[in-house]
A and B are shown apart, each in its own frame.
Chain A
Amino acid sequence: MTSERVGASPPRVGGHQRVTGHQRYVADIRLPNELHAKLVKLPVARARIIGIDTSAAQGIPGVKLVMTAADLPQPVPRFGPQFEDRPVLAVDETKYDGDAVALVAADTKDAAEEAAGLVKVSYEELPAVFTIALALDPAAPLVQDPQLRPGDPLGDTNVLREHRVGWGDVDAAPADLVIENRYTFPIVTHFAIEPHAFMAAPDGDGIAVWSSIQHPYWLQRVLAQVLALPLAKVRVFAPDPGGAFGGKQHAKYEPLVAFAALKAGRPVRLTLSLEETFQAARRTAAEIRVRTGLSSAGRLTFQDIEANYLIGAYADIADRVTGKGSYPGCGPYRLPAARIVARSVLSHTPPATAMRGFGNPEVNWAVESNLTEAALALGIDPLELRLRNLAGKGEAFIPFDTPADGEWEQTVRRAAELVGWETTKPPGHGRGIAIGIKSGPTTGLSYSMVRLLADGSAIVYAGTSDMGQGARTILAQIAGDELGAPLDEVTVVMGDTAVVPYDQQTSASRSSVLMGNAVLQACREIQAKLRDMAAKLHGVSQEAIVVERGVVRLADQELRIREILRSGLGRLGGELIGIGESRKEDDPGHPLGGSAAFFEFNCTAIEAEVDRETGDIRILRHVTVSDVGKALNPLQVRMQDEGAAIMGLGHTLMEHYIFDDSGRIRNLGAIDYRIPTSLDLPVELRSEMVENSDGPGPYGAKGMSEGALLCVAPAVAAAVRDATGVAIRDLPLTPERVWRALQEAAT
């Protein structure tokens, strides 16, 4: 069916269940005999735990378990994707507002809640560092136990790691103009509408764990390690998450819930409240100093970037965010000299983790804003300045790394055209444009298995997580296309490590490319078997047969796959099985462990007006154009781009954590943490994609879904600058901040 083929936009696989309320997320799954868990947390940012009295809690009827660090194996196991720094439960010290000290499990939610309130923790509040300045102060308390980093020269500081990338000689670079500014990017959080949810149950001599996790196999590994179980005895179920955006990539409370289930001998479920999700996962904040050098003709001569990323008390994957996010920070431009110093700064705040854009939006905010300043200072159109420096396809804009992999100028010009860049601006309107780039995965491994069943229907096994981006659909489209099965005859099985072969992770917009290629390969293996089958059936040689896109082509006839199967499987029946493997090996010599498989490239252009009296920004036109290679499902691509664009408006206009003087978060929850609603949309939102089939994925696809978020902030700020003459360098651009900037400029 052409309407289902790759490149078409058939309805989402799994859409029916979602629209009828039958889709089951972790919190909807009930297990017999389950216990309900509640976390016990302290009302401070940081504390020394003196003692925990669980007696009153244990006395509540229905309470079956009150677990503290003392009830865990000693020393308490630690885990973490980069550093094994995070204890299963806080040991001796809570390090951020929300760090759990105990878990209560009871027959009912009420009993668990009541008992959790009765766990008496005696503690001493300790001073917390929760900003870059506080954390870098030489007198600051160390967030991380120095014993975790023996021999590390930075071990006596709160700098977890420093990443240095550069080329050329920045200090000797000539420049007719140098623009230097400091920018800040706030702490924001994912706020998926599904709060994190976890369940664990003893499973024979092993354990079964359900989680809203994006990386089931990574979680399986962590659990096997902390529980000292073989991988084969750890089964992770990963139902499609209700949104994740990076916040559900890595283990949070699964190890704790697993220990609780094993101790209690019963299933234990823990669903975080929305407030607890804010305490569990967030984006890295950053302070970035950028010094940009240009010739008077508008050619970039150097970029000198210092980016301090504020990460949480436990590293999670945040240091990777710092390193990988800052690496392409200079942007997709021809640049003779660059120096990027990026630091992960530990703090007594909730763990920073991956979030859509993975460290790029922060540096992009600074570097693109600085480019706009440079354009204005030189009297060159900001669009023209960017085009003048933009790397052409095939150019290594980061020396010795993946060259530019798209006709990027096409994307930029299209965005400019759509926003009406060359047209006369109505009075009071401002326009801004910015470019965003992000490296795709640097390593990867995806296996897929596809089974073509006797009637021509197919089952695809893929360990990717479909968290809303539509992975199920495009993988079904690929298999359906290759095997000639309509979509409603393709089942995609995901989210069960006991049944689905290994997939490294769902992140970095990789799955269309990596898992897509694995599925494609599996289908090709099946096609080879069909060729063999057809050859035997028709007494011809294999070379004379072509199998492609559901059709078996012989010299004199064309048959549908299912016809071959019907005859070819014979009396024993059976099925054809194909395995695909998509691998990108790591490169230990590379600063990121590997070059980018592809780039996500986006150009965002904004037209806005500003109410000078109130500071309100009204976005009249928001244009976003992405270079996607091939849209396997154009509707889904558009939805991802528009969704990313609007999410970008969140940190641009309204989202930020507000702390009190002691490091506690004041605006947990939905009332005082504002995200865009249906009433906060641009008057006009236009998204388009550029497709040149020049990506490494199936049919020339590149990964996408983060690009449209990357440069929203600098584009909006540039429009505000254009409308008002005022540059603002801190996010979010709340009405109050804009107003204040206008007031200060007027004096």
Chain B
Amino acid sequence: MTKLLPIELTVNGSARSLDVAPHHTLLDVLRDELGLTGTKECCLVGECGACTVRLNGRIVDSCLVLAVEADGGEVATIEGLAPPGHLSRLQQSFLDEGAVQCGYCTPGQVLAADDLLRRNPRPTVAEIQEGLAGNLCRCACYEQITQAVLATSRAASDDL
């Protein structure tokens, strides 16, 4: 039997202590141990971005991060983006702009878009396309996703 290793991490603001197998990824643990199934599993080679989460302030493909590597770290998933029952401005924009079709890539797209806007509050279309290039959408909502990001950035700057 694989020896389990204890880890402590903060997930969506809550401190969690877990015993994990070294070969289990952060994606495995989020979905299977913590029941946070909003983060999705697809390619498992870091190409599709469906497993995108925020780890220690940066977005990563959680399928390529071992759970043990997240020990002592902070993880934010799609479930933690807004308080229960609420939507962030970005999430609302995704709905308003029609950037959601089957929805399977949506959590990853939202995490990536959220990260982009934190780093670059007024992105150009080219910057949005580059920032989200690690998130595949087979329904190909790319144009609508770009519009959702632009709308969010415009609304945020209107607030200032």
Using CB atoms and an 8 Å cutoff, list the residues of chain A in contact with chain B. Answer: 9, 11-12, 14-25, 27-28, 30, 61, 109-110, 190-195, 240-245, 271, 273-274, 467-470, 635-636, 638-639, 642-647, 669-671, 675-679, 681, 685
Contacts and interface: CB of A to CB of B under 8 A. Distances in A.
B101 A27 contact: no
A89 B35 CA distance: 32
Nearest to A674: B47
Contact of B137 (A190, A193, A685): A193
Contact of A24 (B37, B42, B82): B37
Nearest to B145: A678
A636 B141 CA distance: 11
B138 A25 contact: no
A385 to B, nearest CB: 30
14 contacts: A18-B102, A19-B91, A194-B42, A240-B103, A243-B101, A274-B42, A468-B102, A468-B139, A639-B139, A642-B143, A643-B140, A677-B136, A678-B128, A678-B129
A670 B101 contact: no
A278 to B, nearest CB: 11
Contact of A23 (B103, B136, B139): B103
Contact of A639 (B79, B105, B144): B144
Contact of B43 (A61, A642, A670): A670
B106 interface: yes
B62 interface: no
A12 B100 contact: yes
A639 B101 contact: yes
B79 A20 contact: yes
B102 A192 contact: yes
**9 nearest A-B residue pairs (beta carbon):** A21-B38, A242-B104, A18-B103, A468-B102, A21-B78, A646-B140, A468-B101, A670-B47, A670-B43
Interface in B76-92: 77-79, 81-82, 87, 91
A681 B95 contact: no
B100 A15 contact: yes
A681 to B, nearest CB: 6
Contacts of B41: 27, 195, 271
Given A23-B103, A274-B42, A670-B43, A193 B78 contact: no
A474 to B, nearest CB: 13
A242 B41 CA distance: 11
Q: Which of B38, B81, B107, B141 has the most CB of A within 10 A?
A: B38
A14 to B, nearest CB: 7
B44 interface: yes
A240 B38 CA distance: 15
- For the residues of B in contact with A, the DSSP-based class is loop
Contact of B135 (A24, A245, A676, A678): A678
A20 B102 contact: no
Contacts, number: 164
Contacts of A271: 41
B150 to A, nearest CB: 13
Contacts of A639: 98, 101, 139, 141, 144
Contact of B39 (A17, A21, A670): A21
Contacts of A469: 101
B133 interface: yes
A536 to B, nearest CB: 42
B67 interface: no
A28 B102 CA distance: 15
A671 B87 contact: no
A245 B139 CA distance: 9
B55 interface: no
Contacts of A647: 138, 140
B44 to A, nearest CB: 7
Nearest to B128: A678
**How big is chain B's contact interface, by range?**
35 or more
Interface in B89-135: 91, 94-96, 98, 100-107, 110, 128-130, 132-133, 135
Q: Which of A14, A194, A645 has the most CB of B within 10 A?
A: A194
A194 B43 CA distance: 9
A685 B143 contact: yes
A243 B36 CA distance: 21
A9 B100 CA distance: 13
B33 to A, nearest CB: 12
B136 A193 contact: yes
B81 A677 contact: no
B129 to A, nearest CB: 4
Given A193-B137, A678-B133, A19 B100 contact: yes
- For the residues of A in contact with B, the DSSP-based class is loop
A20 B91 CA distance: 8
Contacts of B42: 193-195, 274, 670
A670 B128 CA distance: 22
B53 to A, nearest CB: 11
Nearest to B86: A20
B95 A22 contact: no
Q: Which of B44, B98, B137, B139 has the most CB of A within 10 A?
A: B139
B42 to A, nearest CB: 5
Contacts of A273: 44
B40 A193 contact: yes
B60 interface: no
Given A240-B103, A274-B43, 8 more contacts: A19-B110, A27-B37, A193-B42, A193-B105, A468-B103, A639-B141, A676-B142, A679-B130
A241 B42 CA distance: 13
Contacts of B23: 110
A488 to B, nearest CB: 13
Q: Which of A191, A643, A679 has the most CB of B within 10 A?
A: A643
B133 to A, nearest CB: 5
A646 B142 contact: yes
B50 interface: yes
A676 B143 CA distance: 12
Contacts of A676: 140, 142
Contacts of B78: 20-21
Contact of A194 (B31, B104, B129, B142): B104
Q: Which of A16, A20, A195, A638 has the most CB of B within 10 A?
A: A20
A678 B42 CA distance: 18
B136 A15 contact: no
Given A21-B38, A194-B40, A110 B106 contact: no
B156 to A, nearest CB: 18
Given A19-B94, A193-B48, A470-B101, A669 B43 contact: yes
Q: Which of A19, A27, A240 has the most CB of B within 10 A?
A: A19
Contact of B95 (A15, A28, A675): A15
Contact of A18 (B43, B106, B130, B135): B106
B98 to A, nearest CB: 4
B45 interface: yes
A250 to B, nearest CB: 19
Interface string B3-42: 0000000000000000001010000000110011111111
Contact of B103 (A14, A30, A675): A14
Contacts of A636: 98
A671 B102 contact: no
A643 B129 contact: no
Nearest to A242: B104
B153 interface: no
B152 interface: no
Contacts of A25: 40, 104
Contacts of B129: 678-679, 681
